[in-house]
Amino acid sequence: MKTFRTTTRNLKHFPCVSSRPWWLKFCVALPLATALASTAACAKGSSPGATASAASTSGSPATPVAPPEPAPTAPDNSPLPHIDAKRAFEYTREVAAFGPRYMGNENHKKLERYILDHLKGDEVEDDAFTADTVEGKFPVRNIIAKFPGTKDGIIAILGHYDTNYPLRNIGYVGANDGGSSTAILLEFANQLRSASAGKKRDGYSVWLVWTDGEEAVRSWSDTDSLYGTRHLAEKWEKDGTLKKIKALMVMDMIAPIDLAILRDTNSTPWLLDLIYAAAERGGYQSHFYVLQTPMEDDHLPFVKRGVPSADVIDMPYGYNDVFHHTALDTMDKLSPKSLQIVGDTILETVHMLDQR
Ligand SMILES: [Zn+2]
């Protein structure tokens, strides 16, 4: 994920109120009043020395916003789902241990095999192609695991497994960025597999997609980013899959110890609200939506095509975002508890979608 602009629901939590705003490192400065009242536009460079892109002054004023109203539905007494967060945390550790995993390198190939080994017996499909980029051609491979359901329609859950080509020589392992998203999808596969026990699940089909080429190969832009999902969205538009998708959720950077999931204003509001309602059922809502901002991530190619989509992402990552896209993105910044919160909430969201 890259572009990071912030408005907030609660100025007490607004990083810009500190004496040395973290975003000054990355942002084109706006007049102070505008910055505080509307947006700070930040281009997240894919390497520590990356330059900022042009600022936009568009955006809504930062006004305190009340949490979403609880959905007026009958009480749901079904048991809350619980992922095995310890196992998901171990997956994260194993994925990070592969080292830099940019498109097509040896570590990336090892990770592809690692993912496929965990999906033995599941219905798996590849979306593989060659991306023509400003740094040359790269092989890209989205991996899709399908868990069929009795209802007509698909819930898609996406998470990227690549790391950044420009960070390949700095010891970058992307434990959170790339690692946690890969791991939580593997754990979702475990949960879906054991719940369905070889039969169709009682609800929509769930497709898990390990996306590739999410990161920029040089510097984040519309054409240098989201290689995998731009290809997949186009393919699914042509073959009619997009029309069947009831909801699409992207997992990205979801394991930091001090978990705070953003409310992404590029996402579909009703789906964000449903995720919040699911978090409330688990008592996890304090980890959701203190900050709100538009995010650019793997959901965008689907948002642009009208698919209800949500980006589930924690930003900034560490004070002043210092762990993001740096060699500091390591396991010691992460917690199994955060994977528990996100994992349980998303599985509960799937359950709530099934009831709709
Ligand atoms: Zn990233």
Q: Using one digit for the tens of pLDDT, what is the confidence trace for 195-223? A: 988 899 999 999 999 999 999 999 999 99
The pLDDT of residue 123 is above 90: yes
Mean pLDDT of the chain: 84
Q: What is the mean pLDDT of residues 129-150?
A: 98
Cα(180) to ligand 1 centroid in Å equals: 11
- For residue 46, the CA-to-ligand 1 centroid distance in Å is 7
Q: What is the mean pLDDT of residues 143-161?
A: 98
Q: Which carries the bigger pLDDT value, residue 50 or residue 183?
A: 183
Q: Distance, CA 301 to ligand 1 centroid (Å)? A: 17
CA 162 / ligand 1 centre spacing (Å)? 9
Ligand 1 midpoint to CA 190 (Å): 25
The mean-pLDDT minimum among 8-22, 140-154, 169-183, 260-274 falls in: 8-22
The alpha carbon of 322 and the centre of ligand 1 are apart by a number of angstroms equal to 13
Give me the sign of the Cα torsion angle 280, 281, 287, 293.
Answer: negative
How many whole angstroms from 224 Cα to the centroid of ligand 1? 13
- d(CA 215, ligand 1 centre) in Å: 6
The pLDDT tens digits of the residues spanning 30-57 come to: 222 333 233 222 333 333 322 222 223 2
Quote the ligand 1 centre to 148 CA distance (angstroms): 30
CA dist 227 → 12, 77, 86, 135 (Å): 37, 41, 31, 13
CA 316 to chain centre: 13
Q: Which of 11-25, 114-128, 200-214 is least confident?
A: 11-25
Expressed in angstroms and rounded, the spacing between residue 2 Cα and the centre of ligand 1 is 6
